[in-house]
Amino acid sequence: MNISIFGLGYVGCVSLGCLASFGHHIIGVDVNDIKVQQIKAGKPTIIEKDIENIISQQFKLGRIDATNDYKKAILETDISIICVGTPSSVKGHLNLDYIYKVAEEIGSALKGKKSFHTVVVRSTVLPGTNARITEIIEQISGKSSNEQFGVVSNPEFLREGSAVKDFNNPPVTVIGSSCKKSTDLLIQLYNDIDAPIRVVDIKIAEFIKYVNNSFHALKISFANEVGNISKQLGIDGREVMQLFCEDDHLNISSYYFKPGFAYGGSCLPKDLKGLKMLAHDYYLESPIIDNIEYSNNNQKQRAIDIIKSKNIKNIDIVGLSFKYGTDDLRYSPAVEVAEYFLGKGYTLRIYDKNVRLSRITGTNKDYIDYKIPHLSNLLVENINPLLKDSQLIVITHQSEISEEIIKNNPQIQFIDLVGITKNKYENYEGICW
């Protein structure tokens, strides 16, 4: 393929060299003449492991070139990859001026081009940026998106020091676009890379890089806080976190990474409080650990606010224990939500098969009868009364409420706190979706 790359900085230089090594012909474009001349001399614009040899070798093979002439680059290529910088302002907002400037240049060049052109955004941008890029190109070129050109979000996941390795061995290749022709072209472009390709909504593709990097920052800071507490206890924090990482069933896994309702139960709240107090006893600042409970409480409040927004005074709750498959009501966020609305004068009915059985068998009977008798009296024997005349059903964990029930009962409003379905219905709202 013939590809132009806009921006010959870190991402652009690595992309230029690696794509050329796959056999493609690449033209680098940059306003900085020094960078252009470096590529034209077969030299990289950055210091990075292996990139000097790759650029030199591909230059000798005649697969790479560079120019300041953006029109020439676009007219001679089928794909333009945008890799220009998106620096932060003092307050943290992204400066997208360079991105939009390239979009204007592409729009101008496409006026005189007859063939279809694909624009790929590798720069880190906020959701909605690619929509604006599309508008700019349409306005200036007079051409129609998805007909004469397509825009694709294709975020990069390169680490300095191992960027070439990361380019050739990504955990996943993300492609977001509404244009099938451009999507198919990108899939073909990355066909030589042994990694899964995920085609997603364009806003998800724009957003994922921020989520990834913020989580990486969180992991480093969390490990540092654990290390600080460990040192005060006379423990090697490195050994603690090494042991932590050996658990790939829960600690290093996808198990807890599902947006939804708040955590509860007897272990997480108790042990988190214990760790917080341990840090405080040693006069240690642990802002991440300190604020986990605050974030969890915020999620409970979010559920309450969504329920209140429906302006329905009769509420039915399916699921009272802290999670599905147990009768444990200790620190259950569903109990807190139910108590809030009961205290505000709402009419409630509650169904939870395991809690109902526990009330009969006595496994959790004392807690039910003495700690929450006001809620115990609201428990119904089965789910049928709720489905018969309910106005609003709040689903707090996996239960007998299925997608079929939601679809077949349009007269009932459903608020889903756990993710029963990925489909959209007029009578359905999720807490994080």
Q: Say yes or no: 239 and 133 in one domain.
A: no
Beta carbons within 10 angstroms of residue 400's beta carbon: 15
Domain span holding position 241: 203-257
Q: Say yes or no: 216 and 168 in one domain.
A: no
Cα 219 from Cα 424, distance rounded (Å): 33
Token representation of residue 66: 């560079």
Q: Say yes or no: 249 and 357 in one domain.
A: no
Long-range contacts, 194-197 (Cβ 8 Å, 24+): 194/169, 195/169, 195/170, 195/171, 196/172, 197/172, 197/173
Beta carbons within 10 angstroms of residue 213's beta carbon: 12
Q: Is 245 a catalytic residue?
A: no
Domain boundary among 184, 200, 216: 200
Domain boundary among 178, 200, 222: 200
Sort 309 into a burial class: Cβ within 10 Å, 0-12 / 13-18 / 19+: exposed
C-alpha 74: how far from its chain's center? 32
Q: Say yes or no: 333 and 420 in one domain.
A: yes
Q: Say yes or no: 153 and 209 in one domain.
A: no
Per-residue confidence in pLDDT tens, the chain, 433 aa: 999 999 999 999 999 999 999 999 999 999 999 999 999 999 999 999 999 999 999 999 999 999 999 999 999 999 999 999 888 877 778 889 999 999 999 999 999 899 999 999 999 999 999 999 999 999 999 999 999 999 999 999 998 889 999 999 999 999 999 999 999 999 999 988 989 999 999 999 999 999 999 999 999 999 999 999 999 999 999 999 999 999 999 999 898 888 999 989 878 888 899 999 999 999 999 999 999 999 999 999 999 999 999 999 999 999 988 888 777 888 889 999 999 998 999 999 999 887 776 565 665 666 666 667 777 778 888 888 888 999 999 999 887 788 899 999 999 999 999 998 989 999 999 999 9
Q: What is the 3-state secondary structure (H, E, C) of the chain?
A: CEEEEECCCHHHHHHHHHHHHCCCEEEEECCCHHHHHHHHCCCCCCCCCCHHHHHHHHHHCCCEEEECCHHHHHHCCCEEEECCCCCECCCCCECCHHHHHHHHHHHHHHCCCCCCEEEEECCCCCCCHHHHHHHHHHHHHCCCECCCEEEEECCCCCCCCCHHHHHHCCCCEEEECCCHHHHHHHHHHCCCCCCCEEEECHHHHHHHHHHHHHHHHHHHHHHHHHHHHHHHCCCCHHHHHHHHHCCCCCCCCCCCCCCCCCCCCCCHHHHHHHHHHHHHHCCCCCHHHHHHHHHHHHHHHHHHHHHHCCCCCEEEEECCCCCCCCCCCCCCHHHHHHHHHHHCCCEEEEECHHHHHHHHHCCCHHHHHHHCHHHHCCECCCCHHHHHHCCEEEECCCCCCCHHHHHHCCCCEEEECCCCCCCCCCCEEECCC
Q: Say yes or no: 29 and 50 in one domain.
A: yes
The CA–CA distances, whole Å, from 201 to 79, 127, 154, 176, 183 equal: 20, 10, 11, 5, 11
> According to the model, what pLDDT value does residue 346 have?
94
Read off the CATH number of the domain in which 45 is found: 3.40.50.720
Q: Say yes or no: 180 and 207 in one domain.
A: no
> According to the model, what pLDDT value does residue 182 have?
97
Domain assignment present for 193: yes
Domain assignment present for 270: no
Q: Say yes or no: 233 and 365 in one domain.
A: no
Domain assignment present for 88: yes
**83, 245, 267, 432: the active-site residue:** 267
- Number of domains within the chain: 3
Domain assignment present for 323: yes
Domain assignment present for 273: no
Q: Say yes or no: 224 and 340 in one domain.
A: no
> According to the model, what pLDDT value does residue 367 have?
65
Q: Say yes or no: 321 and 399 in one domain.
A: yes
- Evaluated on CA atoms 200, 203, 205, 208, the torsion sign reads negative
Q: Say yes or no: 186 and 229 in one domain.
A: no
User: What b/e readout covers 168-203, taking b as 16+ CB neighbours within 10 angstroms?
Assistant: eebeebbbbbbbeebbebbeebbeeeeeeeebeebb
Domain assignment present for 84: yes
> For 274, phi and psi rounded to 5 degrees?
-65, -40
Q: Say yes or no: 131 and 184 in one domain.
A: yes
pTM value? Answer: 0.85
> According to the model, what pLDDT value does residue 364 have?
64
Cα 429 from Cα 433, distance rounded (Å): 7
Residues 74 and 106 sit within 8 Å (Cβ to Cβ):
yes
Domain assignment present for 417: yes
Domain assignment present for 311: yes
